[in-house]
């Protein structure tokens, strides 16, 4: 018997901002996304205050002033967003500390269901995968993180790719992915990259995985694809371009697809210049939620 979906899987949505244009674009994306999912949205900003000596108290006072100014900016941003998107369920929160540390702590202490963050430039995915604050948050936070490139405009996703290597917790991740995006009803394309020349075995594995997914996940808009190419990165990239994909989802764990994407040895070869959001799940967290 299939496990039923939660009617409100993203109740709490955390949207950090540093007031840059990239972050503000992600804020607008996050509010529109959260509105569809009926989420309670928390706009968050962290200001770093260094440890200072008595002689440096004036600097500390200045940093406190910065916090007060940021609070005013957040309140103004909240009012603007409520007016623009007619969605009043937005809170603001500010703290002092390193952004990544404060985001991690807040997401844990407040049981956030998802984080939406911006990335710089049109090659936002490359920014995430090579290294940035967003990459650090993906690594440290247990909840899913949606990384939004600066040029991405919110739209109803029609096609989502989930890259799999048939790990056990990929079932749970797919369940959560379908649960979160059910209000949009996108086609979720389960993609495996064929890394050897044994097509018969690869196809048999895909059919087995497909059977498990369709039997246990209450979602009727899955498709399954086996792609072959010279490398994982280029194969996925080509598939995304050829099939008009709106979002890429991966499960983060060692020695898997995402690990290959983030490998330092592949940094120079990375050619992910696709203006498309990336949703990352933490496999160790997902696997703690039984599916069947």
**265 Cβ contact list (under 8 Å, min separation 6):** none
Q: Which of 125, 149, 173 is the last residue of a domain?
A: 149
Domain annotation covers residue 203: yes
Tell whether 136 and 177 lie within a shared domain: no
Let me know if residue 17 belongs to a domain.
yes
Q: Is residue 265 part of a domain?
A: yes
> Does pLDDT of 246 surpass 90?
yes
Domain of 88, CATH number, reads 3.40.50.620
198 backbone dihedrals φ, ψ, rounded to 5°: -90, 75
Beta strands 187-194 and 222-228 are: parallel
Mean pLDDT of 247-262: 64
What pLDDT is stored for residue 292 in this prediction? Answer: 46
Whether the pLDDT of residue 271 is over 50: the answer is no
Domain that holds residue 18: 12-149
Cα distance between residue 227 and residue 81, in whole Å:
41
143/167 same-domain check = no
Confirm whether 188 is domain-assigned: yes
- The answer to whether residues 30 and 135 belong to one domain is yes
Same domain for 214 and 124 = no
- The answer, yes or no, to whether residue 267 has pLDDT greater than 70, is no
Is the same domain home to 129 and 163? no
Q: How far apart are CA 233 and CA 130, in angstroms?
A: 13
pLDDT tens-digit series, residues 116-154: 998 875 555 555 555 578 888 888 899 999 989 888 899
Q: Which of 149, 175, 204 is the last residue of a domain?
A: 149
What whole-number distance in Å separates Cα of residue 183 and Cα of residue 95? Answer: 33
The pLDDT confidence band at residue 262, using thresholds 50, 70 and 90, is very low
User: Does 291 map to a domain?
Assistant: no
pLDDT score recorded for residue 255: 43
Average confidence (pLDDT) over 56-82: 81
User: Do 13 and 111 touch, CB atoms closer than 8 A?
Assistant: no
For 10-62, what is each residue's pLDDT tens digit?
999 999 999 988 899 999 999 999 999 999 999 999 987 665 555 555 555 56
Band the pLDDT of 265: cuts 50, 70, 90. Answer: very low
- The pLDDT, as a whole number, for residue 65 is 72
My answer on whether 99 and 24 are in the same domain is yes
pLDDT value, residue 153: 92
Ranked by mean pLDDT, the top range of 2-6, 141-145, 287-291 is 141-145
Q: Is the dihedral of CA 231, 272, 17, 66 positive or negative?
A: positive
Give the residue with greater pLDDT, 221 vs 3: 221
Task: Answer whether residue 210 shows pLDDT above 70.
Answer: yes
Mean pLDDT (the chain, rounded): 83
Q: Does 27 lie in the same domain as 144? A: yes
Same structural domain, 34 and 139: yes
Query: pLDDT digits over 94-120, tens only?
Result: 999 999 999 999 999 999 999 999 887
**Percent of the chain residues topping a pLDDT of 90:** 53
Residue 272's pLDDT is 45
Residue-level pLDDT at 263: 42
Q: Are residues 195 and 245 in the same domain?
A: yes
113, 192: one domain:
no
- 114-128, 197-211, 223-237, 240-254: segment of lowest average pLDDT: 114-128
Looking at the predicted structure, is the pLDDT value of residue 184 above 90? Answer: yes
- What are 189's strand-pairing partners? 161, 223
Q: 203 and 88 in one domain? A: no
Q: Please check whether residues 41 and 128 belong to one and the same domain.
A: yes
In a domain, 222, yes or no: yes
Res 31: pLDDT: 98
Does 168 fall in a domain? Answer: yes
Q: How many domains does the chain have?
A: 2
Domain assignment present for residue 3? The answer is no
Specify the pLDDT at position 62: 60
- Whether residue 73 is predicted with pLDDT greater than 90 in this model: the reply is yes
Query: β-strand 278-282 against 145-149: which pairing, if any?
Result: antiparallel
- DSSP assignments along the chain, one per residue: -PPPPPS-S--EEEEE--SSHHHHHHHHHHHHHHHHHTPEEEEEEEE------GGGHHHHHHHHHHHHHHHHHHHHHHHHHHHHH----EEEEEEES-HHHHHHHHHHHTT-SEEEEEESSTTHHHHHHH--HHHHHHHH-SS-EEEEETT------SEEEEE----THHHHHHHHHHHHHGGG--EEEEEEEE-SS-HHHHHHHHHHHHHHHHHHS--S-EEEEEEE-S-HHHHHHHHHHHTT--EEEEEE-TTSHHHHHH-GGGGGG--------EEEEEHHHHTTS---
The pLDDT of residue 138? 85
Among residues 149, 184, 214, which one ends one of the domains?
A: 149
């Amino acid at each position: 018997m299939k496990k039923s979906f939660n009617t409100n899987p993203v109740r709490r949505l955390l949207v950090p901002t540093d007031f840059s244009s990239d972050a503000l674009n992600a804020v607008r994306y996050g509010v529109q996304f959260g509105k569809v999912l009926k989420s309670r949205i928390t706009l968050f900003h962290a200001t770093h205050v260094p440890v200072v000596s008595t002689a440096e108290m004036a600097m500390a006072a200045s940093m406190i002033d910065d916090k007060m100014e940021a609070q005013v900016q957040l309140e103004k941003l909240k009012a603007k967003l409520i007016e623009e998107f007619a969605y009043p369920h937005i809170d603001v929160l500010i703290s002092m500390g390193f952004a990544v540390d404060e985001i991690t702590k807040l997401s844990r202490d407040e049981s956030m269901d998802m984080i939406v963050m911006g990335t710089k430039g049109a090659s936002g995915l490359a920014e995430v995968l090579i290294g940035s604050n967003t990459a650090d948050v993906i690594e440290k936070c247990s909840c899913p993180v949606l990384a939004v490139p600066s040029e991405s405009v919110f739209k109803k996703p029609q096609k989502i790719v989930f890259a799999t290597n048939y790990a056990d917790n990929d079932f749970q991740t797919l369940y959560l992915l379908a649960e979160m995006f059910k209000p949009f009803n996108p086609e979720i394309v389960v993609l495996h990259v064929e890394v050897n020349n044994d097509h018969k075995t690869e196809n048999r594995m895909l059919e087995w995985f497909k059977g498990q997914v369709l039997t246990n996940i209450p979602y009727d808009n899955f498709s399954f694809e086996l792609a072959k190419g010279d490398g994982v990165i280029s194969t996925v990239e080509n598939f995304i371009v050829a099939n008009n994909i709106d979002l890429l989802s991966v499960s983060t764990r060692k020695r898997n697809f995402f690990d290959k994407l983030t490998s330092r040895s592949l940094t120079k070869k990375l050619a992910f210049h696709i203006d498309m959001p990336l949703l990352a799940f933490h496999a160790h967290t997902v696997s703690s939620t039984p599916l069947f």
